[in-house]
Chains A and B, each alone.
Chain A
Amino acid sequence: MDNYSKYVTAYVETFAVSADDAPGLRYQSIPAWDSVGHMALIAALEGVFSVELDIDDIIDFSSFERGKEILSKYAVVV
Protein backbone atom coordinates (compact mmCIF):
# COMPACT_ATOMS: atom_id res chain seq x y z
CA MET A 1 0.00 0.00 0.00
CA ASP A 2 1.37 3.47 -0.86
CA ASN A 3 1.72 6.19 1.77
CA TYR A 4 -1.40 8.06 0.67
CA SER A 5 -3.54 4.91 0.97
CA LYS A 6 -2.06 4.18 4.38
CA TYR A 7 -2.78 7.76 5.45
CA VAL A 8 -6.41 7.56 4.31
CA THR A 9 -6.86 4.11 5.86
CA ALA A 10 -5.82 5.47 9.27
CA TYR A 11 -8.72 7.99 9.08
CA VAL A 12 -11.14 5.40 7.76
CA GLU A 13 -10.35 2.93 10.55
CA THR A 14 -10.10 5.46 13.36
CA PHE A 15 -13.18 7.53 12.55
CA ALA A 16 -15.30 5.01 10.62
CA VAL A 17 -15.59 7.37 7.63
CA SER A 18 -15.41 6.52 3.93
CA ALA A 19 -12.16 6.96 2.00
CA ASP A 20 -13.87 9.69 -0.06
CA ASP A 21 -14.78 11.71 3.05
CA ALA A 22 -11.34 11.50 4.68
CA PRO A 23 -9.55 14.30 2.72
CA GLY A 24 -11.91 17.08 3.87
CA LEU A 25 -11.70 16.26 7.56
CA ARG A 26 -10.65 18.77 10.20
CA TYR A 27 -10.31 18.44 13.97
CA GLN A 28 -13.85 18.45 15.39
CA SER A 29 -15.50 18.61 11.96
CA ILE A 30 -17.07 15.25 12.85
CA PRO A 31 -17.99 13.92 16.33
CA ALA A 32 -15.46 11.06 16.03
CA TRP A 33 -12.53 13.47 15.66
CA ASP A 34 -12.69 14.86 19.18
CA SER A 35 -9.81 14.95 21.64
CA VAL A 36 -10.05 11.18 22.21
CA GLY A 37 -10.31 10.48 18.48
CA HIS A 38 -7.26 12.70 18.03
CA MET A 39 -5.19 10.44 20.29
CA ALA A 40 -6.39 7.34 18.45
CA LEU A 41 -5.50 8.93 15.10
CA ILE A 42 -2.00 9.95 16.20
CA ALA A 43 -1.36 6.50 17.70
CA ALA A 44 -2.49 4.88 14.44
CA LEU A 45 -0.37 7.17 12.23
CA GLU A 46 2.73 6.77 14.39
CA GLY A 47 2.30 3.01 14.16
CA VAL A 48 1.72 2.95 10.40
CA PHE A 49 4.62 5.25 9.52
CA SER A 50 6.96 4.27 12.41
CA VAL A 51 7.43 7.90 13.49
CA GLU A 52 7.25 9.68 16.85
CA LEU A 53 5.52 13.03 16.52
CA ASP A 54 6.63 15.90 18.67
CA ILE A 55 4.08 17.19 21.23
CA ASP A 56 3.76 20.57 19.45
CA ASP A 57 3.16 18.84 16.12
CA ILE A 58 0.49 16.66 17.71
CA ILE A 59 -1.30 19.80 18.95
CA ASP A 60 -0.85 21.44 15.54
CA PHE A 61 -2.25 18.39 13.68
CA SER A 62 -5.58 20.10 12.92
CA SER A 63 -6.73 18.65 9.60
CA PHE A 64 -6.18 15.97 6.99
CA GLU A 65 -4.23 18.49 4.90
CA ARG A 66 -2.19 19.94 7.79
CA GLY A 67 -1.33 16.39 8.82
CA LYS A 68 0.32 15.76 5.47
CA GLU A 69 2.54 18.82 5.97
CA ILE A 70 3.46 17.74 9.48
CA LEU A 71 4.34 14.21 8.39
CA SER A 72 6.62 15.61 5.70
CA LYS A 73 8.79 17.03 8.52
CA TYR A 74 9.37 13.41 9.53
CA ALA A 75 10.40 12.39 6.01
CA VAL A 76 7.02 10.80 5.33
CA VAL A 77 5.74 11.94 1.94
CA VAL A 78 2.01 11.38 1.71
Chain B
Amino acid sequence: MAGIEPSQLLCKPRRPFDPAVMDFLAALSERLFADKDARLQPDVASFAYWCRRSNLMRIQREHQTNHNCIGRGIALHIAPSNTPVNFAFTYAFGLLSGNSNVVRVTTKEFAQIAIICRTIDWLLGHDEHDSIRMMTSIIRYEVNDAITAELSRNCHVRVIWGGDSTVKSIKALPSQPRCIDIAFADRYSVAVISADAVNTAIEADLIKLAEGFFMDVFLFDQNACSSPRSIIWIGDEKSVPIARSRFWHYVSRKVESAYRSLPIHMVDKYTQLCLDSVVFHDTVIDSSIEGAVFRLYLRNLERGVDQRAGKFGYFLETSASDLTPLLDFVNERYQTVTSYGLDRTDIVRFVIDNGITGVDRVVPVGHALDLGLTWDGLDIISAMSRVVSDQ
Protein backbone atom coordinates (compact mmCIF):
# COMPACT_ATOMS: atom_id res chain seq x y z
CA MET B 1 0.00 0.00 0.00
CA ALA B 2 2.91 2.33 0.80
CA GLY B 3 6.64 2.15 1.46
CA ILE B 4 8.85 -0.91 0.91
CA GLU B 5 8.65 -4.69 1.45
CA PRO B 6 8.78 -5.80 5.12
CA SER B 7 12.01 -7.76 4.50
CA GLN B 8 13.77 -4.61 3.22
CA LEU B 9 13.04 -2.48 6.31
CA LEU B 10 16.04 -0.93 7.96
CA CYS B 11 16.41 -2.11 11.55
CA LYS B 12 18.21 0.91 12.92
CA PRO B 13 16.12 2.45 15.71
CA ARG B 14 16.20 6.18 16.44
CA ARG B 15 15.49 8.40 19.38
CA PRO B 16 11.80 9.21 19.92
CA PHE B 17 10.65 12.40 18.16
CA ASP B 18 13.47 12.24 15.62
CA PRO B 19 13.51 15.49 13.56
CA ALA B 20 13.19 13.58 10.25
CA VAL B 21 10.06 11.85 11.61
CA MET B 22 8.59 15.15 12.82
CA ASP B 23 9.22 16.77 9.41
CA PHE B 24 7.63 13.85 7.62
CA LEU B 25 4.47 13.77 9.74
CA ALA B 26 4.06 17.57 9.59
CA ALA B 27 4.39 17.38 5.79
CA LEU B 28 1.79 14.59 5.76
CA SER B 29 -0.59 16.82 7.74
CA GLU B 30 -0.20 19.75 5.35
CA ARG B 31 -0.54 17.56 2.30
CA LEU B 32 -3.75 15.94 3.61
CA PHE B 33 -5.34 19.29 4.46
CA ALA B 34 -4.58 20.45 0.92
CA ASP B 35 -6.21 17.31 -0.57
CA LYS B 36 -9.85 17.82 -1.64
CA ASP B 37 -10.71 14.12 -1.21
CA ALA B 38 -9.22 14.09 2.27
CA ARG B 39 -11.26 17.13 3.32
CA LEU B 40 -14.44 15.12 2.67
CA GLN B 41 -13.42 12.53 5.28
CA PRO B 42 -13.70 13.82 8.87
CA ASP B 43 -11.51 11.03 10.24
CA VAL B 44 -8.72 11.74 7.74
CA ALA B 45 -8.92 15.40 8.72
CA SER B 46 -8.70 14.38 12.39
CA PHE B 47 -5.51 12.47 11.66
CA ALA B 48 -4.07 15.40 9.68
CA TYR B 49 -5.03 17.66 12.57
CA TRP B 50 -3.34 15.39 15.10
CA CYS B 51 -0.05 15.20 13.19
CA ARG B 52 0.18 18.95 12.52
CA ARG B 53 3.55 20.29 13.62
CA SER B 54 2.34 22.31 16.63
CA ASN B 55 0.62 19.26 18.11
CA LEU B 56 3.67 17.03 17.60
CA MET B 57 5.82 19.65 19.31
CA ARG B 58 3.37 19.83 22.21
CA ILE B 59 3.40 16.05 22.56
CA GLN B 60 7.19 16.01 22.50
CA ARG B 61 7.40 18.73 25.13
CA GLU B 62 4.86 17.03 27.40
CA HIS B 63 6.58 13.69 27.05
CA GLN B 64 9.38 13.47 29.59
CA THR B 65 11.55 11.34 27.35
CA ASN B 66 14.75 10.10 28.87
CA HIS B 67 17.59 11.40 26.69
CA ASN B 68 19.06 7.93 26.46
CA CYS B 69 15.88 6.53 24.97
CA ILE B 70 15.78 4.69 21.62
CA GLY B 71 13.22 2.73 19.59
CA ARG B 72 13.18 -1.06 19.87
CA GLY B 73 13.73 -1.92 16.19
CA ILE B 74 10.90 -3.19 14.02
CA ALA B 75 7.29 -2.85 15.07
CA LEU B 76 4.52 -5.00 13.62
CA HIS B 77 1.12 -3.31 13.76
CA ILE B 78 -2.14 -5.19 13.29
CA ALA B 79 -4.63 -2.40 12.53
CA PRO B 80 -8.33 -2.85 13.26
CA SER B 81 -11.11 -3.09 10.69
CA ASN B 82 -13.69 -0.90 12.47
CA THR B 83 -11.86 2.44 12.35
CA PRO B 84 -10.06 2.83 9.00
CA VAL B 85 -7.71 5.67 9.95
CA ASN B 86 -6.33 3.89 13.01
CA PHE B 87 -3.60 2.35 10.83
CA ALA B 88 -2.17 5.81 10.17
CA PHE B 89 -2.09 6.67 13.87
CA THR B 90 -0.39 3.44 14.87
CA TYR B 91 2.15 3.93 12.06
CA ALA B 92 2.83 7.46 13.33
CA PHE B 93 3.18 6.14 16.92
CA GLY B 94 5.75 3.62 15.67
CA LEU B 95 7.73 6.30 13.83
CA LEU B 96 7.58 8.77 16.71
CA SER B 97 8.90 6.17 19.13
CA GLY B 98 11.85 5.52 16.80
CA ASN B 99 10.89 2.24 15.14
CA SER B 100 10.65 0.87 11.62
CA ASN B 101 7.11 -0.32 10.94
CA VAL B 102 5.19 -3.08 9.24
CA VAL B 103 1.54 -2.06 9.29
CA ARG B 104 -1.08 -4.59 8.27
CA VAL B 105 -4.23 -2.71 7.21
CA THR B 106 -7.68 -4.21 6.91
CA THR B 107 -8.64 -5.74 3.56
CA LYS B 108 -11.98 -3.91 3.75
CA GLU B 109 -11.99 -1.15 1.15
CA PHE B 110 -12.02 2.30 2.68
CA ALA B 111 -11.52 5.57 0.79
CA GLN B 112 -9.69 6.91 3.86
CA ILE B 113 -7.00 4.22 3.63
CA ALA B 114 -6.48 4.82 -0.08
CA ILE B 115 -6.16 8.59 0.39
CA ILE B 116 -3.65 8.38 3.24
CA CYS B 117 -1.53 5.64 1.63
CA ARG B 118 -1.42 7.55 -1.64
CA THR B 119 -0.23 10.64 0.23
CA ILE B 120 2.37 8.75 2.27
CA ASP B 121 3.75 7.11 -0.86
CA TRP B 122 3.91 10.46 -2.66
CA LEU B 123 5.92 11.98 0.20
CA LEU B 124 8.21 8.95 0.47
CA GLY B 125 9.11 9.46 -3.18
CA HIS B 126 10.90 12.68 -2.25
CA ASP B 127 14.58 12.62 -1.30
CA GLU B 128 14.10 14.50 1.97
CA HIS B 129 11.91 11.66 3.28
CA ASP B 130 14.08 8.80 2.04
CA SER B 131 15.09 7.79 5.58
CA ILE B 132 11.39 7.40 6.48
CA ARG B 133 10.83 5.22 3.41
CA MET B 134 13.31 2.73 4.91
CA MET B 135 11.13 2.63 8.07
CA THR B 136 7.80 2.13 6.29
CA SER B 137 6.00 -0.94 5.05
CA ILE B 138 2.21 -0.65 4.90
CA ILE B 139 0.74 -3.87 3.61
CA ARG B 140 -2.59 -5.60 3.18
CA TYR B 141 -3.38 -9.33 3.18
CA GLU B 142 -6.35 -11.51 4.06
CA VAL B 143 -6.15 -12.87 7.62
CA ASN B 144 -3.33 -15.39 7.28
CA ASP B 145 -1.53 -16.84 10.29
CA ALA B 146 1.45 -18.03 8.22
CA ILE B 147 2.25 -14.49 7.05
CA THR B 148 1.60 -12.94 10.47
CA ALA B 149 3.76 -15.65 12.11
CA GLU B 150 6.63 -14.89 9.73
CA LEU B 151 6.33 -11.15 10.43
CA SER B 152 6.07 -11.88 14.17
CA ARG B 153 9.39 -13.75 14.12
CA ASN B 154 11.19 -10.68 12.84
CA CYS B 155 9.81 -7.87 14.99
CA HIS B 156 10.61 -6.36 18.39
CA VAL B 157 7.19 -4.96 19.23
CA ARG B 158 3.73 -6.07 18.21
CA VAL B 159 0.93 -3.51 18.41
CA ILE B 160 -2.33 -5.42 18.27
CA TRP B 161 -5.57 -3.54 17.68
CA GLY B 162 -8.95 -5.04 16.87
CA GLY B 163 -10.27 -6.27 20.19
CA ASP B 164 -10.31 -9.46 22.23
CA SER B 165 -10.48 -12.04 19.43
CA THR B 166 -7.68 -10.49 17.34
CA VAL B 167 -5.50 -10.05 20.42
CA LYS B 168 -5.99 -13.70 21.32
CA SER B 169 -5.18 -15.02 17.85
CA ILE B 170 -2.08 -12.85 17.34
CA LYS B 171 -0.73 -13.55 20.83
CA ALA B 172 -0.99 -17.26 20.05
CA LEU B 173 1.60 -16.80 17.28
CA PRO B 174 5.15 -17.06 18.63
CA SER B 175 7.41 -14.02 18.63
CA GLN B 176 10.99 -13.42 19.80
CA PRO B 177 11.39 -13.84 23.58
CA ARG B 178 12.18 -10.15 24.01
CA CYS B 179 9.33 -8.99 21.77
CA ILE B 180 6.82 -6.80 23.58
CA ASP B 181 3.10 -7.07 22.84
CA ILE B 182 0.97 -3.96 23.19
CA ALA B 183 -2.58 -5.23 22.97
CA PHE B 184 -5.80 -3.25 22.75
CA ALA B 185 -8.75 -5.27 24.02
CA ASP B 186 -12.49 -4.57 23.67
CA ARG B 187 -13.56 -1.62 25.79
CA TYR B 188 -16.73 0.20 26.82
CA SER B 189 -17.26 3.96 27.03
CA VAL B 190 -19.79 6.34 28.53
CA ALA B 191 -20.81 9.98 28.38
CA VAL B 192 -21.37 11.94 31.61
CA ILE B 193 -23.40 15.11 31.11
CA SER B 194 -24.40 17.85 33.53
CA ALA B 195 -28.15 18.53 33.23
CA ASP B 196 -27.70 22.09 34.51
CA ALA B 197 -25.08 22.82 31.85
CA VAL B 198 -27.43 21.62 29.11
CA ASN B 199 -30.33 23.60 30.55
CA THR B 200 -28.38 26.85 30.68
CA ALA B 201 -26.65 26.45 27.29
CA ILE B 202 -27.64 28.76 24.46
CA GLU B 203 -28.87 27.23 21.22
CA ALA B 204 -25.53 27.60 19.41
CA ASP B 205 -23.83 25.63 22.18
CA LEU B 206 -26.46 22.90 22.06
CA ILE B 207 -25.98 22.58 18.30
CA LYS B 208 -22.23 22.26 18.87
CA LEU B 209 -22.78 19.71 21.65
CA ALA B 210 -25.06 17.65 19.41
CA GLU B 211 -22.49 17.83 16.58
CA GLY B 212 -19.74 16.64 18.89
CA PHE B 213 -21.84 13.82 20.26
CA PHE B 214 -22.81 12.86 16.72
CA MET B 215 -19.13 12.62 15.72
CA ASP B 216 -18.28 10.58 18.83
CA VAL B 217 -21.00 8.05 18.08
CA PHE B 218 -22.05 7.92 14.45
CA LEU B 219 -18.82 8.41 12.51
CA PHE B 220 -18.05 4.71 13.01
CA ASP B 221 -21.59 3.43 13.69
CA GLN B 222 -20.90 3.44 17.46
CA ASN B 223 -18.35 0.68 16.77
CA ALA B 224 -15.28 2.40 18.20
CA CYS B 225 -14.22 1.43 21.73
CA SER B 226 -14.27 5.09 22.76
CA SER B 227 -17.77 5.84 21.39
CA PRO B 228 -20.23 6.26 24.27
CA ARG B 229 -22.77 3.49 24.73
CA SER B 230 -24.34 4.77 27.94
CA ILE B 231 -25.16 8.27 29.11
CA ILE B 232 -25.13 9.26 32.76
CA TRP B 233 -26.99 12.48 33.49
CA ILE B 234 -25.80 14.40 36.53
CA GLY B 235 -28.70 16.35 38.04
CA ASP B 236 -31.99 15.98 39.95
CA GLU B 237 -35.52 14.93 39.03
CA LYS B 238 -36.35 18.43 37.88
CA SER B 239 -33.30 19.25 35.77
CA VAL B 240 -32.63 15.87 34.11
CA PRO B 241 -35.91 15.48 32.15
CA ILE B 242 -35.58 18.99 30.73
CA ALA B 243 -31.92 18.43 29.83
CA ARG B 244 -32.68 15.09 28.18
CA SER B 245 -35.40 16.52 26.02
CA ARG B 246 -33.23 19.48 24.96
CA PHE B 247 -30.21 17.29 24.26
CA TRP B 248 -32.01 14.59 22.29
CA HIS B 249 -33.95 17.17 20.29
CA TYR B 250 -30.70 18.55 18.85
CA VAL B 251 -29.03 15.16 18.52
CA SER B 252 -32.04 13.73 16.65
CA ARG B 253 -32.08 16.70 14.33
CA LYS B 254 -28.38 16.14 13.52
CA VAL B 255 -28.82 12.38 13.11
CA GLU B 256 -31.80 12.87 10.82
CA SER B 257 -29.83 15.16 8.53
CA ALA B 258 -26.56 13.22 8.46
CA TYR B 259 -27.03 9.52 9.23
CA ARG B 260 -28.84 6.64 7.55
CA SER B 261 -29.51 3.47 9.48
CA LEU B 262 -29.87 0.32 7.36
CA PRO B 263 -33.13 -1.62 7.91
CA ILE B 264 -31.15 -4.54 9.37
CA HIS B 265 -29.57 -2.24 11.94
CA MET B 266 -32.99 -0.84 12.86
CA VAL B 267 -34.12 -4.42 13.50
CA ASP B 268 -30.96 -5.13 15.53
CA LYS B 269 -31.54 -2.07 17.67
CA TYR B 270 -35.20 -2.90 18.16
CA THR B 271 -34.30 -6.44 19.18
CA GLN B 272 -31.71 -5.20 21.63
CA LEU B 273 -34.19 -2.71 23.09
CA CYS B 274 -36.63 -5.56 23.74
CA LEU B 275 -33.93 -7.86 25.18
CA ASP B 276 -32.48 -5.15 27.41
CA SER B 277 -35.97 -4.25 28.63
CA VAL B 278 -36.17 -7.82 29.90
CA VAL B 279 -32.61 -7.97 31.27
CA PHE B 280 -33.01 -4.67 33.12
CA HIS B 281 -36.76 -4.95 33.81
CA ASP B 282 -36.34 -4.01 37.49
CA THR B 283 -34.92 -0.61 36.66
CA VAL B 284 -36.52 0.43 33.34
CA ILE B 285 -38.23 3.82 33.49
CA ASP B 286 -39.00 4.33 29.80
CA SER B 287 -37.81 3.64 26.29
CA SER B 288 -37.85 5.68 23.14
CA ILE B 289 -37.28 5.33 19.42
CA GLU B 290 -36.77 8.50 17.43
CA GLY B 291 -35.50 7.98 13.88
CA ALA B 292 -32.21 6.06 14.12
CA VAL B 293 -31.79 6.74 17.86
CA PHE B 294 -32.92 4.00 20.26
CA ARG B 295 -32.83 4.67 24.00
CA LEU B 296 -33.60 2.85 27.21
CA TYR B 297 -33.78 4.96 30.36
CA LEU B 298 -32.92 3.09 33.56
CA ARG B 299 -33.18 3.99 37.23
CA ASN B 300 -29.57 2.94 37.63
CA LEU B 301 -26.84 1.17 35.68
CA GLU B 302 -25.58 -2.08 37.07
CA ARG B 303 -22.70 -4.47 36.71
CA GLY B 304 -22.64 -6.20 33.34
CA VAL B 305 -24.02 -3.22 31.46
CA ASP B 306 -20.73 -3.17 29.53
CA GLN B 307 -21.56 -6.59 28.07
CA ARG B 308 -24.59 -5.12 26.32
CA ALA B 309 -22.83 -2.70 23.98
CA GLY B 310 -25.09 -0.78 21.65
CA LYS B 311 -24.26 -0.13 18.01
CA PHE B 312 -25.60 2.10 15.23
CA GLY B 313 -27.24 4.54 17.67
CA TYR B 314 -28.37 2.59 20.73
CA PHE B 315 -28.05 4.04 24.23
CA LEU B 316 -28.71 3.19 27.84
CA GLU B 317 -29.34 6.24 30.00
CA THR B 318 -29.51 6.87 33.70
CA SER B 319 -29.29 9.80 36.09
CA ALA B 320 -27.55 10.48 39.39
CA SER B 321 -26.91 13.43 41.67
CA ASP B 322 -23.15 12.90 41.46
CA LEU B 323 -20.53 10.41 40.24
CA THR B 324 -20.83 8.01 43.21
CA PRO B 325 -23.08 5.43 41.46
CA LEU B 326 -20.25 4.80 38.95
CA LEU B 327 -18.48 2.88 41.71
CA ASP B 328 -21.21 0.22 41.49
CA PHE B 329 -20.63 -0.81 37.91
CA VAL B 330 -17.42 0.62 36.39
CA ASN B 331 -14.79 -2.09 35.86
CA GLU B 332 -11.57 -2.45 33.84
CA ARG B 333 -13.49 -2.65 30.55
CA TYR B 334 -14.41 1.04 30.82
CA GLN B 335 -12.16 3.21 28.70
CA THR B 336 -13.36 6.72 27.79
CA VAL B 337 -15.62 9.12 29.65
CA THR B 338 -16.80 11.94 27.41
CA SER B 339 -18.05 14.78 29.58
CA TYR B 340 -20.02 17.99 29.20
CA GLY B 341 -20.44 20.73 31.78
CA LEU B 342 -18.29 18.98 34.39
CA ASP B 343 -14.71 19.55 35.49
CA ARG B 344 -12.64 16.81 33.85
CA THR B 345 -9.94 16.98 36.50
CA ASP B 346 -12.63 16.20 39.13
CA ILE B 347 -13.61 13.06 37.21
CA VAL B 348 -9.96 11.96 36.88
CA ARG B 349 -9.48 12.55 40.61
CA PHE B 350 -12.66 10.58 41.34
CA VAL B 351 -11.27 7.58 39.42
CA ILE B 352 -7.88 7.67 41.14
CA ASP B 353 -9.07 8.49 44.68
CA ASN B 354 -11.61 5.68 44.58
CA GLY B 355 -9.16 3.14 43.15
CA ILE B 356 -11.36 2.26 40.15
CA THR B 357 -9.84 -0.35 37.79
CA GLY B 358 -11.38 1.22 34.68
CA VAL B 359 -11.57 4.62 32.90
CA ASP B 360 -8.36 5.58 31.13
CA ARG B 361 -9.49 8.79 29.58
CA VAL B 362 -11.76 11.78 30.27
CA VAL B 363 -12.31 14.10 27.28
CA PRO B 364 -14.92 16.69 26.23
CA VAL B 365 -17.90 15.51 24.16
CA GLY B 366 -16.76 15.62 20.52
CA HIS B 367 -13.31 14.24 21.28
CA ALA B 368 -14.05 10.56 21.93
CA LEU B 369 -12.32 9.49 18.73
CA ASP B 370 -9.17 11.60 19.17
CA LEU B 371 -6.60 8.84 19.28
CA GLY B 372 -3.46 9.86 21.13
CA LEU B 373 -0.10 8.65 22.37
CA THR B 374 -1.60 7.90 25.75
CA TRP B 375 -4.14 5.23 24.92
CA ASP B 376 -5.86 2.63 27.07
CA GLY B 377 -3.87 4.09 29.97
CA LEU B 378 -0.57 3.28 28.25
CA ASP B 379 2.24 5.68 27.39
CA ILE B 380 2.83 4.30 23.91
CA ILE B 381 6.17 6.04 23.29
CA SER B 382 7.64 4.52 26.46
CA ALA B 383 6.13 1.13 25.70
CA MET B 384 7.60 1.08 22.19
CA SER B 385 11.09 2.29 23.12
CA ARG B 386 13.82 1.33 25.58
CA VAL B 387 16.14 3.24 27.88
CA VAL B 388 19.92 2.76 27.64
CA SER B 389 20.84 3.13 31.29
CA ASP B 390 24.25 4.20 32.58
CA GLN B 391 23.50 3.46 36.22
A: which residues have CB within 8 A of B? 27-28, 35-37, 39-40, 42-44, 46-47, 50-52, 55-56, 59, 62
Beyond A43-B29, A43-B48, A59-B364, is A52–B39 a contact (Cβ under 8 Å)?
Answer: no
Which residue in B46, B58, B367 is a CB contact (below 8 Å) of A52? Answer: B58
Chain B 19-38, CB-CB to A under 8 Å as 1, else 0, gives 00000000001100100000
Contact present for A36 and B45 (CB under 8 Å): yes
Contact present for A35 and B42 (CB under 8 Å): yes
Tier of interface size on chain B = 20 to 34
Chain B 202-220, CB-CB to A under 8 Å as 1, else 0, gives 0010011001000100000
What is the interface of chain A mostly: helix, strand, loop, or mixed? helix
**B49-57, B269-277, B306-314: which lies at the interface:** B49-57
What is the interface of chain B mostly: helix, strand, loop, or mixed? helix
Which residue in B57, B58, B215 is a CB contact (below 8 Å) of A35? Answer: B215
Which A residues are in CB contact (< 8 Å) with B71? none
Which A residues are in CB contact (< 8 Å) with B98? none
Give Cα A42 to B53, complex, Å: 12
CB distance from B342 to the nearest CB of A (A): 13
Contact present for B52 and A46 (CB under 8 Å): yes
Contact present for A62 and B33 (CB under 8 Å): no
Beyond A43-B33, A55-B364, A62-B204, is A36–B39 a contact (Cβ under 8 Å)?
Answer: yes
Contact present for B367 and A40 (CB under 8 Å): no
Which residue in A39, A47, A59, A62 is a CB contact (below 8 Å) of B53? Answer: A47
Give Cα A43 to B46, complex, Å: 11
Contact present for A51 and B54 (CB under 8 Å): yes
Contact present for B46 and A39 (CB under 8 Å): yes
A-B pairs with beta carbons under 8 Å apart, 17 shown: A28-B207, A35-B211, A36-B42, A37-B39, A39-B48, A39-B49, A40-B33, A43-B33, A43-B48, A44-B33, A46-B52, A46-B53, A47-B52, A47-B54, A50-B54, A55-B367, A56-B364
CB distance from B324 to the nearest CB of A (A): 27
Contact present for B42 and A43 (CB under 8 Å): no
CB distance from B355 to the nearest CB of A (A): 28
Q: Beyond the given A43-B49, A47-B30, A59-B366, could you list 11 further A-B residue pairs with CB under 8 A, ordered by the A residue number?
A: A27-B208, A35-B42, A35-B211, A36-B39, A39-B45, A39-B48, A43-B52, A46-B52, A47-B52, A52-B57, A59-B364
